Amino acid sequence: MSIKTAQTLVSEAMQEIKTISADDAFNLLEGNDCNLIDIREPSELEKTGSLENSINIPRSHLEFQFETLVQNGIIDINKETVLFCAAGGRSALTVKTLQEMGCKKVSHIEGGFSVLQNSKFKIKK
């Protein structure tokens, strides 16, 4: 029996999901057309900071918190839900998970926070 590697899972997910650029994400946020969700863990945010106007839902809690955040109006599922992690792997897998949960408008940012640090987004420490 062989198992799939994380790289294989990410590669397969990338064939099925929507990937956008940092500039596209910035434009969606500026137009108030997206939920910008940082799925990195709190320890990662402590080291690098976070993006202004993003919501942090650690990947480890996402499936358990997402529905409640939608019900409480924190996430508007009528808008594009844009995810990012450190480099793009976890967010790619998470887009696939949210699609399985019924989200229609969901994407992730190519390159993750490593790309976002050098974009138009403002970092808050």
Residue 125 lies in a domain: no
| Structure confidence at residue 23 (pLDDT) | 97
| Structure confidence at residue 62 (pLDDT) | 94
CATH code at position 35: 3.40.250.10
Sign of CA dihedral 109, 111, 114, 119: negative
Residue 124 lies in a domain: no
Instruction: Give the pLDDT band of residue 1 (cuts 50, 70, 90).
Output: confident
* pLDDT tens per residue, range 3-60: 999 999 999 999 999 999 999 999 999 999 999 999 999 999 999 999 999 999 999 9
Give the side-chain half-sphere CA count within 13 A for 11: 5
Residue 63 lies in a domain: yes
Residue type, 104: K
Residue 71 lies in a domain: yes
Specify the number of domains making up the chain: 1
Which residue segment(s) compose the domain that 59 sits in?
Answer: 6-119
Predicted TM-score (pTM) of the model is 0.94
* pLDDT tens per residue, range 49-106: 999 999 999 999 999 999 999 999 999 999 999 999 999 999 999 999 999 999 999 9
Buried b (16+ CB within 10 A) or exposed e, 65-84: ebeebbeeeebebebbbbbb
